[in-house]
Amino acid sequence: MTATWPPVAIVGVGNMGGGMARRLLAQGVEVHVCDIDADKTQALQALGAHVAAIPAQLGGVAHFLIVCVVTAAQVQEVLWGEQGLAAQLQAGDTVMLCPTIAPDDTEAVAARLAAQGVATLDAPMSGGPERAALGTMSLMVAGADAVFERHQALLNALANPVFRISQRVGDGARTKLVNNLLAGINLVGAAEALALAERMGLDGGRTLQVMAASSAQSWIASDRMTRALAGDWAPRAHMTLLEKDTGLAQQMAMKAGYVGPLGPGAAAVFAQASAAGLAELDDAAVLRHLRAQV
């Protein structure tokens, strides 16, 4: 990739959006960024990014725009709020939606953009900020073949792997919620097992070593529980994110007419942990929450 590539705009340059911005800047792409946190945009400006004060200022400076906020309400604000971007978009532009939101919300945004000739790629992401900066995160991409193919080289620069889900916008969101539901179930299960092990007097670290090398192994369990056992609650992914995602997954399941045995319980644990004062901690603090259970 060289600096002759078309500019890219990113609204929301927190952990993942910031990682993507750094990745593109390192590849010589002209990157325009916008975020309510000036510290984040200033850090990227020092690396060569152009900073917009409000989303509306990004219209016309780039024809591929990435929205990397957290909630559906924030997507609406970025696009159609008082300082929103949508009114400045041009026919033929593409908006890539990266948040983990409900499929219905993704579909509604895409329909509204399509009415003005703007394409949507439904592309939730996974992997964390370090992998985003390295271009080794994963993207789950749904959208029209022509739109996907037009931007495939850029997607490949941002992520490896890029999963081509379907042509139906909303299927990226569905896939991400299914993935995050299992991540939440795995994390709650690992925390429950370690809390039980400690209650019985077993060494948590040694127990986790066994789990990581045996049939109980899961990536999220090993990653989060290693931090939890060290008492490291600094947020890489806030408790509220899995609370949101597992809750959205339950809403999606209900709409599909499916009620599983584990998902509702995992969603309840994250909600309870947040309500217990752990909302702003890393989701690894689910172990701290379950340790306190009588």
> Is the confidence at residue 2, as pLDDT, over 60?
no
pTM: 0.93
CATH number at residue 278: 1.10.1040.10
Let me know whether 57 and 202 are in one domain: no
Domain carrying residue 37: 8-169
Give me the chain's average pLDDT, please.
96
Kindly indicate the confidence band of residue 25, based on its pLDDT and cuts at 50, 70 and 90. Answer: very high
| Active-site pick, 40, 176, 244, 255 | 176
Average pLDDT over residues 87-101: 97
Residue 128, pLDDT above cutoff 90: no
Same domain, yes or no: 26 and 154: yes
Percent of the chain with pLDDT over 70: 98
Per-residue pLDDT averaged across 278-288, rounded?
98
Residue 37 has pLDDT above 80, yes or no: yes
Q: Tokens 């909600």 identify what position? A: 271
Measured CA to CA in angstroms, residue 12 lies from 70, 108, 276 at distances of: 9, 20, 28
Domain tally, the chain:
2
pLDDT reported for residue 66: 98
Within-domain flag for 93: yes
Residue position matching structure tokens 């939440």? 184
- Of 145, 169, 193, the one marking the end of a domain is 169
CATH number, domain of 136, equals: 3.40.50.720
What gap in Å lies between CA 280 and CA 237, rounded to an integer?
Answer: 9
CA–CA dist 196, 208 (Å, integer): 12
Quick one: pLDDT at residue 4? 66
Q: What is the pLDDT of residue 1?
A: 42
- The confidence score (pLDDT) of residue 232 equals 98
User: Per-residue DSSP letters for 217-263?
Assistant: --HHHHHHHHHHHTT----SSBHHHHHHHHHHHHHHHHHTT---SSH
235 and 124 in a common domain: no
Residues 112 and 135 in one domain: yes
Residue 104 lies in a domain: yes
Known catalytic residue at 176: yes
The whole-number pLDDT of residue 3 equals 44
Q: How confident is the model at residue 5 (pLDDT cuts 50, 70, 90)?
A: confident
pLDDT at 109: 98
* Interval 47-71: pLDDT, tens: 999 999 999 999 999 999 999 999 9
- The mean per-residue pLDDT over the stretch 280-286 comes to 98
Same structural domain for residues 190 and 88?
A: no
Q: Report, as an integer, the average pLDDT of 167-194.
A: 98
Q: Are residues 159 and 137 in contact, defined by beta-carbon separation less than 8 angstroms?
A: yes
135 and 181 co-located in one domain: no
Q: Answer yes or no: do 145 and 196 share one domain.
A: no
Q: Tell me what percent of the residues of the chain surpass a pLDDT of 90.
A: 96
Assess whether 101 and 222 both reside in one domain: no
Mean pLDDT calculated for residue range 223-233 = 97
Mean pLDDT of 229-255: 96
Spatial distance between the Cα atoms of 126 and 237, rounded to a whole number of angstroms: 11
User: Are both 112 and 213 inside the same structural domain?
Assistant: no
